[in-house]
Amino acid sequence: MITQSPTLGPAEQTFYIIDFDSTFTKVEALDVLGEISLIGRPDRNDVLDQIKAITDRGMSGEIGLADSLALRLKLLNAHRDHLPALIETLMGKISDSFQRNQAFITENADHIYVVSSGFQEFIVPIVTSLGVKESHVFANTFTYDETGNIVGCDLENPLASDGGKVKLMRNLNLDGDVYVIGDGYTDYEIREAGLANKFYAFTENVARIKVMEKADHITPSLDEFLFDNKLSRSQSYPKSRIKVLLLENVHPIAVQLFEQEGFNVEIHKGALDEDELIEAIRDVSILGIRSKTMVTRRVLENANKLMTIGAFCIGTNQIDLSTCTERGIAVFNAPYSNTRSVVELAIGEIIMLIRGIVPKSNSMHRGEWDKSAKNSYEVRGKKLGLVGYGNIGTQLSVVAEALGMEVYFYDAVDKLALGNARKCKSLDELLAIADIISLHTDGRKENKNLISYREFGLMKNGVIFLNLSRGHIVDIPALVDAIERGKVIGAGIDVFPQEPKTNSEEFISTLRNLPNVILTPHIGGSTEEAQANIGQFVPGKLLEYINNGSTYGSVNFPELQLPLLKDSHRLLHIHTNVPGILARMNNIFASYEINIQGQYLKTNEQIGYVITDIAKEYADAVVSELRVIDNTIKFRLLY
């Protein structure tokens, strides 16, 4: 049997009635016109608020349309010359789901009508740009005075009066099924009058409770409408049905990027503990966290829909990566975006600590003037010892050399020395040489208490010590002891074995109130620049994986950078890495005479990832058979 292509044509004589303001476009056009026509008026903001309030009251059915139009036109004080700027603005405000589903509009142009209480003058150029027929646009027209001021609208037009859409639809007398898509009460009125089979409340831009209550179906985007009606669409599965959970205050850019794609996004300011996360993650497909949220095996066992995790930071030690892989969940992070921020903080702290600025500043705040050079040094010529020479360690090495420091490093793997930095053969060698020691290793479990009593014992007396990597790498009682004994005369600590989950929890630590110790709340990577970079970077990776299957940059999946999907269906098969799976898949393809257009396979120790692009027409059974191959972990279809 050949599958019906998901790009079905319209049912015989089904008509689609689409509203314009806040549906076809993201905004109310008269609000935008006000922003243009009222430029220079001192009361502009007040008038704009009044216009918006009238629009909302009209849309939720509190006042009649004729009144709403008349009131707004009067306040607008607009002129014919304002229209080109309005049209230009609206062109950039077409709703995202309409933009990505232009094919639906062009393929169904004979059956699509735009019915609006807005105005032809700006609606026609916008909707025809996506393929709506000009003759299928029904809206009001402005009237002007002799100098071009907009003074009202053509009152002969049924759309200028209360119940206008109903009157218009009666006149149109469409012979077939009618589906209305809109955000306003007047759109629902068509259904109420018995002139439509279904009313879809469109909530991509604005969700009006009074309207949603009346709807046959709430459609958070055009994709959902198209999916519900099995119509030609750009998304194989509506993204509004896919839940994204973003924790720990990730940058708003990330939220915006997911919302733009039409996902159902939920955000939380802080981290969640294990039980809270188990509760929150049940319906989640995409999870975004930072360094604090522990994604444990128990959490993952309750995350049956989870496809991917984005760590909006560098470290991924908070995630049980092995269980993620076992369950076919791809994990991504941002390995570079905040490295510079950490380096700048480390340099700043080294200078502050070696000059004893913190106690001096504290004394000044108590009114004490203690001008002295005692125990205050330049960094020039001092030996900086870096433990871990990865992305941060190497950058710090270069910047420190520029300040005239001598750099030594020790890394668990053999690393190329940058500039004049010198490689140490062992951690012990480095600890004994350095005047300043800064930790930059990753947070793998084996690094727990990497620096403890023995290691502090190997250090020079009066060393400066920094940890901006991970809290568990330093044995805190040993550090406190070293500070109290004067072994360490200055410390900068940004990360702790136990950190508060949110800003409202108290920070409890034996490091509090020790002399010449800078304590910071894990903010090495918390700069506007770094967070904005991460907010762009990680969603980019997650979206490439969701939309295209690419795993380039994943920290636990075999990495595959895939071509964009074109004129084919993409089958993504994740399985336990055992012999023979590819052969089984290809046997299925061969038995159904499938034309394979591209195939990609990559494995790691735990899993195999096979991507097969095939021609669009194929038997349903192919998909069902692929899903049940032994050792299949996850299967997904993209088109």
Ligand X SMILES: O=C(O)[C@H](O)COP(=O)(O)O
Ligand Y SMILES: NC(=O)c1ccc[n+]([C@@H]2O[C@H](COP(=O)([O-])OP(=O)(O)OC[C@H]3O[C@@H](n4cnc5c(N)ncnc54)[C@H](O)[C@@H]3O)[C@@H](O)[C@H]2O)c1
Applying CB under 6 A, the residues found at the interface with ligand Y are 314-315, 338-339, 342, 387-393, 410-413, 440-443, 447, 450, 468-470, 494-495, 522, 524-525
Of 100 and 290, CB closest to ligand X:
290
Per CB under 6 A, the segment of 107-115, 204-212, 285-293, 321-329 that binds ligand X is 285-293
Joined together, the tokens standing for residue 514 give 């020790």
Toward ligand Y, which CB reaches closer, 23 or 526? 526
Minimum Å distance from CB 377 to ligand Y? Answer: 25
Contact flag: residue 321 with ligand X (CB under 6 A): no
Asked whether the beta carbons of 460 and 432 are under 8 A apart, the reply is yes
Q: Quick one: which of 481, 501, 470, 269 has its CA closest to 387?
A: 470
Active-site choice (100, 470, 569, 570): 470
Q: Could you say whether residue 290 binds ligand X (CB under 6 A)?
A: yes
- Which listed residue (499, 544, 584, 636) is catalytic? 499
**442 contacts which partner out of ligand X, ligand Y, none, CB within 5 to 8 A by kind?**
ligand Y
Query: Could you say which of 315, 385, 393, 492 contacts ligand X (CB under 6 A)?
Result: 315
Residue 465 β-bridge partners: 437, 491
- Report residue 591 CA to chain centroid gap: 41
Please identify which residue in 291, 325, 467, 516 interacts with ligand X, judged by CB under 6 A.
Answer: 291
Gap between the Cα atoms of 577 and 440, Å rounded: 34
Q: Hey, CA dihedral for 472, 477, 483, 487, is it positive or negative?
A: negative
Q: Which is nearer to ligand Y, 310 or 315 (CB)?
A: 315
Q: How far is the CB of 256 from ligand X (least distance, A)?
A: 18
In the complex with ligand X, the residue whose CB is nearer, 65 or 271, is 271
Among residues 75 and 450, whose Cβ is nearest to ligand Y?
450
**In which residue are the tokens 């935008």 written?**
32
290 binds, among ligand X, ligand Y, none (CB under 5 to 8 A by kind): ligand X
CB of 311 to ligand X, least distance (A): 7
CB within 8 Å of 189: residues ≥ 6 apart: 163, 165, 166
Residue with Cβ nearer ligand X (36 or 254) = 254
Name the segment binding ligand X (CB under 6 A); options: 90-98, 312-320, 580-588, 591-599.
312-320
Question: Shortest gap between Cβ of 442 and ligand X (angstroms)?
Answer: 9
Q: Tell me how far apart the alpha carbons of residues 197 and 16 are, in angstroms, rounded to a whole number.
A: 11
- For residues 467 and 612, which CB has a smaller minimum distance to ligand X in the complex? 467
Binding of residue 525 to ligand X (CB under 6 A) = yes
Give the binding range for ligand X (CB under 6 A) out of 284-292, 410-418, 424-432, 556-564: 284-292
Collapsed DSSP state (helix, strand, coil) of residue 118: strand
Tokens linked to 454: 């023995």
164 touches, from ligand Y, ligand X, none (C-beta below 5 to 8 Å by class): none
392 binds, among ligand X, ligand Y, none (CB under 5 to 8 A by kind): ligand Y
Q: Which does 412 bind (CB under 5 to 8 A by kind): ligand Y, ligand X, none?
A: ligand Y
Residues 282/303, Cβ–Cβ less than 8 Å: yes
- Of 38-46, 289-297, 474-482, 562-570, the window that binds ligand X (rule: CB under 6 A) is 289-297
Question: What HEC string does 59-78 produce?
Answer: HCCCCCHHHHHHHHHHHHCC
DSSP per residue, 192-252: HTT--SEEEEE-SS---HHHHTT-SEEESSHHHHHHHTT---S-SS-GGGSEEEE-TT--H
Nearest to 419 by CA among 373, 443, 441, 386: 386
Out of 338, 391, 516, 550, name the contact with ligand X by CB under 6 A. Answer: 338
Beta carbons of 198 and 179 less than 8 angstroms apart: yes
Query: Whole-angstrom distance between the N-terminal and C-terminal Cα of the chain?
Result: 20
Is residue 266 part of the annotated active site? The answer reads: no
The reply on whether position 395 binds ligand X by CB under 6 A is: no
Token digits of residue 215: 């709807």
Return the range that interacts with ligand X (CB under 6 A); candidates 74-82, 210-218, 225-233, 306-314: 306-314
Shorter beta-carbon distance to ligand X: residue 148 or 521: 521
343 near ligand X (CB under 6 A): no
Residue 389 structure tokens: 């020479």
The stretch near ligand X (CB under 6 A) out of 313-321, 383-391, 501-509, 573-581 is 313-321
Contact 65, 164 (CB under 8 A): yes
Q: Is 268 a catalytic residue?
A: no
Cβ burial 330-355 (10 Å sphere, 16+ → b, else e): bbbbbbebbbbbbbbbbbebbebbbb
Which amino acid would we find at residue 429? E
Between 188 and 410, whose beta carbon lies closer to ligand Y?
A: 410
Give the nearest residue (CB) to ligand Y: 390
Q: Are 638 and 579 in contact (CB under 8 A)?
A: no
Among 526, 550, 551, 556, interactor with ligand X by CB under 6 A: 526
Measured from the CB atom, is 393 or 539 closer to ligand Y?
A: 393
- Name the residue among 341, 447, 351, 520 with its Cα closest to residue 439: 447
Of the candidates 114, 181, 314, 638, which one interacts with ligand X according to CB under 6 A?
314
Question: Using the rule CB under 6 A, is 313 a contact of ligand X?
Answer: yes
366 assigned to active site:
no
Closest approach of Cβ 342 to ligand Y, in Å?
Answer: 5
Please name every residue paired with 245 in a beta bridge, in sequence order, or none if there are none: 266, 287
Separation in Å, CA 524 to CA 138, 326, 349, 466, 494: 57, 32, 11, 12, 7
Catalytic residue among 100, 111, 472, 522: 522
Residues 494-523 that bind ligand X (CB under 6 A): 522
Sole residue written with tokens 């770094």: 530
**DSSP secondary structure letters along 274-311:** HHHHHHHTTTEEEEEE-SS--B-HHHHHT-TT--EEEE
Q: By the 8 A CB rule, do 286 and 245 touch?
A: yes
Q: How far is the CB of 586 from ligand X (least distance, A)?
A: 41
By the rule CB under 6 A, 268 interacts with ligand X: no
User: 580: Cβ–Cβ under 8 A, 6 or more apart, which residues?
Assistant: none
- Give the residue among 335, 374, 331 at the shortest CA–CA distance from 356: 374
Which CB, 371 or 425, lies closer to ligand Y? 425
Give the shortest CB-552-to-ligand X separation in angstroms.
Answer: 20
What does 76 bind: ligand Y, ligand X, none (CB cut-off 5 to 8 Å by kind)? Answer: none
Q: Is 4 exposed, middle or buried (0-12, 13-18, 19+ CB in 10 A)?
A: exposed
Active centre residues (catalytic): 470, 499, 522
> What are the residues binding ligand X (CB under 6 A)?
290-292, 312-315, 338, 522, 525-526
